[in-house]
């Protein structure tokens, strides 16, 4: 079975994000970029499915500027077979991303599509669900376990009250949560091999999708910072402060 | 303007988050209807009808909605919601699951996790794990929005007298089915809405040691939370994770024990009124947001904390 994985290029999760002085966005100049951590988990899951003999081919797709090819190459080094780059310098919002991915799904006809549950830049948590709706597929979001069983996939999901398992008809969409797996690192030989793996580039227009953002960002500000607190000497002082100063107990 | 709020509940009680979402709807302004979709939800519909500011409660009571499967809820809400100017629900795992389907089916954008309403089409939401706060304007004719409950004070649960109307729309997409669930059972308050939260991190070392925190939590009537590291290590269940990609909490008092204070953790708790940190590393970033910091070994400090609390509570 063919598995399609969507990976997004985002700011590295270790970078301390700074808002631009003119409040138009965050400063991304000379900032380390990386694959969205949830997408790394998505790639890893696909690779494990292939190692188990469940998946036969892994196609990885990324939407964004030329530099996204770095993240596609990383996924290829981790074990994906082939890459698709949908190149655009425009801002792509979740609905457009889902429409572009739908066009890829129609071409590639994967049995399973794996995405991250959330981009750590927009914190949207939308694209997988939107793709599932647009393609008429079932969805297993926030997955902590994925078991393919014939024409179905069982997905255990991390939900507010604990865990919930759903069975989905294939093809289906899965979005990854943190506990699904622990992604491996790419080895140097695999990084070298990845350079020779096929990578197709295309434009949104090639896929018949118009990029027409529905949301406009009016301003981006730094969050209100908290007043620096105090250090207490011992537990007795702590409890005294909580009771008599903060009055929260 | 007419606003449809999708109630959050578990088929047995209405979640407080619904009252926070109604508050967000009030901030937008207009008639507010609440849709209660689930199985055997008569009592929940009645509870929703009493909430302050609700005009009408719509009830979709069917086994197809019993487990809140996103495929079925998505179709239902897209159909019922298409006559409204705004569709809102709480940004819990259920809302996050079905709402983007609604947006896609209606071919509109979704605005996720809003914490403030500027006007009927302009909303404020955190991005980059709360490191930046964006003001976004939505141009679609229907605004599909998930609401971060901690951003809005809840409306009163009592006092309203909305009419209740049964819908006979049954949407069973036939794409998914419920297999089973493992619900973490606890008599403690709900983490997302508790007044006091006590969280443990990797410093707790193992699940057994969390019993120390449970005792303190029970003394204070607190909910229990955790860092990702504590959940990943298997000390505690996943639904206790507080943070960017876990639960967002803003209690009166948040106590972080053996938690370093990574930005992803702070994203979930830095709006708490009072923050206490107990950590043996005085350089731990958690101290930068803590109102009261105690540099100590938690294995000494937590039992002392329990003893001192017993004296005053
Ligand atoms: C995509 C992504 C999403 C994430 N989402 C979340 C999230 O939602 N929530 C979250 O919490 N994290 C999240 N993280 C993880 C986050 O980056 C940190 O790794 C995590 O919060 C660290 O947990 P911790 O503070 O318990 O562990 P550590 O950073 O290891 O800190 C342990 C602390 O315990 C202290 N300690 C140890 N022993 C003792 C003792 N005996 N007495 C007192 N103090 C002691 C240490 O000094 C240290 O400060 C996410 C990461 C990524 C990449
Ligand atoms: N530009 C993009 N390119 C590739 N995948 C994307 C893109 N945007 C979103 N995705 C996928 O959708 C997931 C969730 O993103 P979001 O809905 O933006 O939080 C990501 O983890 C990716 O798997």
Joined together, the tokens standing for residue A123 give: 């914190």
Domain A2-221 adopts which CATH fold?
A: Rossmann fold (3.40.50)
Do B103 and A178 make contact, defined as CB atoms within 8 angstroms? Answer: no
Instruction: Please state, in angstroms and rounded to a whole number, the distance separating the CA atoms of residues A74 and A83.
Output: 10
A130, A179, A229 ranked by CB distance to B292: nearest: A229
Q: What confidence tens digit (pLDDT) does each residue in A142-176 have? A: 999 999 999 999 999 999 999 999 999 999 999 99
Which class is domain B2-166? alpha beta
- pLDDT of B55 > 90? The answer is yes
CATH number for the segment(s) B191-312: 3.40.50.1220
Domains of chain A by residue range: 2-221
Q: Which numbered ligand comes closest to the C-alpha of A121?
A: 2
Residues with CB under 6 A from ligand 2: A 6-8, 36, 38-39, 42, 62-64, 92, 94, 97, 115-116, 118-119, 122, 124-128
Task: Please list every residue in chain B whose beta carbon sits closer than 8 Å to the beta carbon of residue A220.
Answer: 127, 132-135
Q: Can you point out the beta strands (E) in B115-175?
A: 116-119, 122-127, 132-138, 143-147, 163-166
* Fold match, B2-166 / B191-312: yes
Contact A145, B197 (CB under 8 A): no
Helix/strand/coil percent split, chain B, to 5: 35, 30, 35
Q: Which of B18, B67, B77, B96 to mutate against chain A (most A CBs within 10 Å)?
A: B96
Encoded tokens for B14? 């209405």
Q: What is the residue extent of each domain of chain B?
A: 2-166, 191-312
Residues 6 or more apart whose Cβ sits within 8 Å of residue A193:
A77
Q: Which of A138, A164, A222 shows the shortest C-beta gap to B71?
A: A138
Report the distance separating Cα B59 and Cα A112, nearest Å. 34
Tell me B247's DSSP state: B
Q: Using one digit for the tens of pLDDT, what is the confidence trace for B134-145?
A: 999 999 999 999
Closest CA to B18 of B157, B143, B183: B157
Angstrom distance (rounded) from CA B231 to CA B243:
12
Strands B2-6 and B86-90: parallel
**Alpha-carbon gap, residue B241 to B229, rounded angstroms:** 9
pLDDT of B58 strictly over 90: yes
State the CB neighbour count (10 A cutoff) for residue B55: 15
Residue B184 has pLDDT above 90, yes or no: no
Q: Is residue A163 helix, strand or coil? A: strand
CA neighbor of B245 nearest in space, from A122, A136, A196:
A122
- Chain A residue numbers with beta carbons less than 8 Å from the beta carbon of B270 are 223, 226
A177 to chain B, closest Cα gap in Å: 9
Write out pLDDT tens, residues B252-271: 999 999 999 999 999 999 99
Task: Please tell me whether residue A217 adopts helix, strand or coil conformation.
Answer: strand
Query: Which B residues, 50 through 79, put their C-beta within 8 Å of a C-beta on chain A?
Result: 67, 69-71, 74
Closest CA to B231 of B251, B201, B253, B205: B201
**What pLDDT does A227 receive?**
83
A163 and B238 Cβ atoms separated by less than 8 Å: yes
User: Is there a contact between B100 and A234 if contact means CB atoms under 8 Å apart?
Assistant: no
Confidence of residue B185 (pLDDT cuts 50, 70, 90): confident
User: Under a CB-based contact definition with an 8 Å cutoff, are residues A126 and A94 in contact?
Assistant: yes
- What is the model's pLDDT at position B224? 98
Residues of B in contact with A179 (CB under 8 A): 231-232, 238
């Amino acid at each position: 079975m063919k598995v399609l994985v969507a990976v997004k290029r985002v700011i590295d999760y270790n970078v301390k994000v700074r808002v631009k002085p003119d409040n138009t966005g965050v400063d991304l100049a000379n900032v380390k970029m990386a694959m969205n951590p949830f997408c790394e988990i998505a790639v890893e899951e696909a690779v494990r499915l292939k190692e188990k003999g469940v998946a036969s081919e892994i196609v990885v797709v990324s939407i964004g500027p030329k530099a996204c090819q770095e993240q596609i190459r990383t996924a290829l080094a981790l074990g994906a077979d082939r890459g698709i780059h949908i190149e655009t310098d425009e801002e792509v919002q979740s609905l457009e991303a889902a429409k572009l991915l739908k066009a890829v799904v129609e071409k590639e006809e994967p049995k399973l599509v794996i995405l991250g549950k959330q981009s750590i830049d927009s914190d949207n948590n939308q694209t997988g669900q939107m793709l599932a709706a647009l393609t008429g597929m079932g969805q297993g979001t926030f997955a902590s376990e994925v078991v393919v069983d014939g024409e179905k996939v069982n997905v255990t999901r991390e939900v507010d009250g604990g865990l919930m398992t759903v069975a989905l008809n294939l093809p289906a969409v899965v979005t990854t949560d943190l506990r699904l797996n622990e992604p491996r690192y790419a080895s140097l030989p695999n990084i070298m091999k990845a350079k020779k793996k096929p990578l197709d580039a295309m434009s949104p227009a090639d896929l018949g999708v118009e990029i027409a953002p529905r949301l406009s960002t009016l301003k981006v500000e730094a969050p209100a910072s908290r007043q620096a607190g105090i250090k207490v000497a011992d537990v007795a002082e702590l409890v005294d402060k909580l009771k008599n100063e903060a009055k929260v107990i | 303007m007419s606003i449809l709020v999708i109630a959050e509940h578990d088929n047995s009680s209405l979640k407080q988050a619904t009252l926070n979402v109604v508050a967000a709807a009030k901030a937008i302004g207009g008639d507010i209807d609440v849709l209660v979709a689930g199985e055997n939800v008569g009592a929940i519909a009645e509870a929703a009808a009493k909430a302050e500011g609700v005009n009408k409660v719509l009830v979709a009571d069917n086994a197809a909605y019993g487990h809140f499967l996103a495929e079925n809820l998505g179709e239902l809400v897209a159909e019922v919601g298409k006559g409204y100017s705004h569709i809102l629900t709480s940004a819990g795992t259920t809302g996050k699951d079905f709402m983007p389907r609604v947006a896609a089916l209606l071919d509109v954008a979704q605005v996720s996790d809003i914490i403030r309403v500027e006007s009927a089409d302009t909303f404020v939401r955190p991005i980059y794990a709360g490191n930046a706060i964006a003001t976004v304007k939505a141009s679609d004719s229907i605004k599909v929005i998930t609401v971060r409950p901690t951003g809005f004070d809840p409306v009163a649960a009592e006092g309203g007298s909305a009419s209740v109307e049964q819908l006979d729309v049954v949407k069973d997409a036939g794409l998914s089915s419920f297999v089973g669930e493992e619900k973490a059972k606890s008599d403690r308050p709900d983490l997302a809405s508790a007044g006091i939260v006590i969280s443990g991190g990797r410093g707790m070392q193992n699940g057994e040691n969390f019993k120390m925190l449970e005792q303190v939590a029970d003394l204070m009537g607190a909910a229990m939370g955790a860092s990702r590291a504590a959940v990943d290590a298997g000390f505690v269940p996943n639904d206790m994770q507080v943070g960017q990609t876990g639960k967002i909490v803003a209690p009166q008092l948040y106590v972080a024990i053996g938690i370093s204070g990574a930005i992803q953790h702070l994203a979930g708790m830095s709006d708490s009124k009072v923050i206490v940190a107990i950590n043996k590393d005085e350089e731990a970033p958690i101290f930068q947001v803590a109102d009261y910091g105690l540099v100590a070994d938690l294995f000494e400090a937590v039992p002392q904390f329990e003893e001192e609390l017993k004296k005053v509570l």
